[in-house]
Amino acid sequence: MKNKKRESRYKRHKRIRKKVYGTSERPRFNIFKSLDHIYAQVIDDSSNITIVSASSIDKELKGKLGTGGNINAAKKIGEMVAQKALNKGIKKVVFDRGGYIYHGRVKALAEAAREAGLEF
């Protein structure tokens, strides 16, 4: 009973991953969040490589963010990963919310990435 929430998210994530697949033309934009940090990656599943990543523990943001577990940090990560992706020539991605509800930090990260230029 203790890990019911985590197990439910993992089931949703597995179900979503059956359908969501990133290619070289349109890679997968993946999100993972913990209580203290948030992570975002752009992944090419056909080649099994991570093209771009950003997180609240990166050196560029470590001192600027008070904590990585809030909406402001999620917005910064969304902008950062979108800029890195655009620099690599990636404009369109497939959004993988990782089984999380589209609310709060996940929503803030996604909207910041959209505003910075990513299309999904």
CATH value at residue 108 = 3.30.420.100
Is the CB of residue 53 less than 8 Å from the CB of residue 61? no
Model pLDDT, residue 26:
92
Q: Domain tally for the chain?
A: 1
Model pLDDT, residue 54:
94
pLDDT in tens, the chain (120 residues): 568 888 988 888 888 888 888 888 899 999 999 999 999 999 999 999 999 999 999 888 777 777 888 999 999 999 999 999 999 999 999 999 988 999 999 999 999 999 999 998
Closest listed residue to residue 106, CA positions, set 116, 95, 97, 93 = 97
Domain of 73, in residue numbers:
4-116
What is the Cα–Cα distance from 28 to 93, expressed in whole angstroms?
6
What is the Cα–Cα distance from 84 to 10, expressed in whole angstroms?
28
**Can you give the pTM of this predicted structure?**
0.86
